[in-house]
């Protein structure tokens, strides 16, 4: 066992002590305390890890509203880290919880927030995918998707991106998805 008291004045080791406590005691609160410390220090990736770990424990304990809040904090730290990969993981988990609770507006909002973040990073594929998930949830909620064209805009951007790189196959694949999305979600032609 590590004697953390030997380095108690160091913030890094304070975080390591919190992490050890969170891991060994399976404590959502300790994970959150760890995540808060890491976020405050600018260690956004580790903050995501802490908030996600805490959220998963809360989810297991059926504290779903708390889990949702922690996943939102994880997402915001993924944004600060400019990590689309971490953002996708925590946003899709958060959206899943909202969908299971039939909180349609929240679920749609999560996907749209993720889509906007991915668009900011010029990752048009992930952005289009997130907005298509939003359209799917709209359909499940009984909403009309005929005018929801954001995925089309992003598939066009994705095609342009690949075309500029000389990857015509990928550009055509994206353009084909415009027609598929239009058909699947009943989008009216522009």
Instruction: Please list the residue range(s) of the chain that carry CATH number 1.25.40.
Output: 10-101
What angle separates helix 44-60 from helix 28-41, to the nearest 10 degrees?
A: 160
pTM of the model: 0.90
Give yes or no for residue 4 having a pLDDT over 60. Answer: no
Quick one: pLDDT at residue 14? 77
Quick one: pLDDT at residue 24? 87
Closest CA to 122 of 84, 73, 167, 165: 84
pLDDT tens, 18-58?
888 888 888 999 999 999 999 999 999 999 999 999 999 99
Contacts of 46 (CB under 8 A, 6+ apart): 15, 34, 35, 38
CATH number of 10-101: 1.25.40
Quick one: pLDDT at residue 117? 98
pLDDT tens, 19-30?
888 888 889 999
Quick one: pLDDT at residue 21? 84
Quick one: pLDDT at residue 176? 95
pLDDT tens, 126-159?
999 999 999 999 999 999 999 999 999 999 999 9
Quick one: pLDDT at residue 135? 97
């Amino acid at each position: 066992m590590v004697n953390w008291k030997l380095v108690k004045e160091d913030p890094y080791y304070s975080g390591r002590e919190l992490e050890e406590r969170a891991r060994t005691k399976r404590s959502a609160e300790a994970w959150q305390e760890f995540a808060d410390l890491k976020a405050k220090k600018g260690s956004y990736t580790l903050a995501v890890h802490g908030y996600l770990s805490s959220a998963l424990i809360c989810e297991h304990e059926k504290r779903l509203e708390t889990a949702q809040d922690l996943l939102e904090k994880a997402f915001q730290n993924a944004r600060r880290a400019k990590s689309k990969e971490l953002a996708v993981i925590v946003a899709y988990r958060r959206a899943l919880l909202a969908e299971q609770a039939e909180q349609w507006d929240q679920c749609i909002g999560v996907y749209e927030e993720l889509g906007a973040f991915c668009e900011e990073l010029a990752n048009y594929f992930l952005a289009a995918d997130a907005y298509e998930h939003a359209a799917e949830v709209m359909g499940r909620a009984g909403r009309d998707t005929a005018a929801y064209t954001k995925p089309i805009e992003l598939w066009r951007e994705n095609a342009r991106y690949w075309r500029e790189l000389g990857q015509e196959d990928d550009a055509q694949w994206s353009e084909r998805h415009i027609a598929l999305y239009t058909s699947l979600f009943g989008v009216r032609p522009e």
